Amino acid sequence: MVDLENNNNTGVNVGWTAAGEWLEWTVNVLEAGAYNMNIQTAGNGGTFKFTATGATTYDSGPLSAVATGAWQTYQTVTKSGFTLNAGTHVIRLEYLANVAFNLKSLEFVRSSALTKTLQNVANGQYAYREGSVVKYTGNPAAFGSAAQWTIEDFSGFKRIRNVGNGCLVHIEHLLAYAECDTGTPDTWYSNRWNLSLVGSNDVFSNAWQGTELNCFGNPPAGVQCTERGTNTDAQWIYNP
């Protein structure tokens, strides 16, 4: 039986576990590749391991949760080298020995994010960064890394990062246009996006405002972030 408790970050954690117990998650990996596993633990430490079955068979071997000195003082343990195929997996965490730690979160992140362009479905234009503004162009090669983006996982959301300077796409001051600034805090929900699929195309909805990233009407000032739902001008192709 899983025991849950409220933690000091307004969420819940798993606790009171013992050697021989386990947790399982069924996940769908959209893109094959190498992933890092990040797990947040707190308490007195212990050993555990991860296994994967289904589209990939994997066994991490024993991993250690370090002692953090308090039951709600969390530290992230990172294990690299998870090579996962695309498809459905059953991920299992097995508690092995000397188990005396709380589990707060588990996250798999690509160890090498894919660098791609973002092309709008409605008009075929590509997003690129000019200063702190996200604009559009028909010739992304002319802008080099300023027209290249990585989509990364963050706290249950997606973040869109520019390869050129590492800025994150976000909304600021309730403007209708998307911006891309370096140094935006991790606590800002304006740089977090919900990703949904329409066919094979991506729709990005802002976690703060609920408006979609779009190229409606070829706006001269830049890529917009307005309520477009799943219209084609709010759909993007993540290209190599």
Q: What is the rounded average pLDDT of the residues 96-108?
A: 90
Helix (H, G, I), strand (E, B) or coil at 147: helix
Q: What is the rounded average pLDDT of the residues 185-207?
A: 93
Q: What is the rounded average pLDDT of the residues 34-46?
A: 86
117-239 CATH = 2.80.10.50
Rounded to whole angstroms, the Cα distance separating 172 from 69 reads 39
pLDDT above 90 as % of the chain:
47
DSSP assignment of 178-225: -EEETT--TT-GGG-EEEEEETTEEEEEETTT-PEEE-TT--TT--EE
* Lowest model confidence (mean pLDDT) among 76-85, 148-157, 178-187: 76-85
Helix (H, G, I), strand (E, B) or coil at 115: coil
Q: Where are the domains of the chain?
A: 3-110, 117-239
Per-residue confidence at 82, pLDDT binned at 50, 70, 90? confident
pLDDT score for 222: 84
pLDDT score for 36: 76
Rounded to whole angstroms, the Cα distance separating 223 from 133 reads 8
Same fold, 3-110 and 117-239: no
- Give this prediction's pTM: 0.55
Candidates 113, 109, 114, 124; CA nearest to 79 is 109
**How many CB atoms lie under 10 A from the CB of residue 107?**
16
Fold of 3-110: Jelly Rolls (2.60.120)
Quote the tokens at residue 68. Answer: 């953090």
Tell me: pLDDT of 2 over 90: no
Q: Which residue has the higher pLDDT, 2 or 103?
A: 103
- Bridge partners of 29, per DSSP, are 87
Tell me: pLDDT of 184 over 80: yes
Top mean pLDDT of 2-6, 7-11, 44-48, 152-156 is at: 44-48
Q: What angle do CA 206, 208, 213 make, to 5 degrees?
A: 20
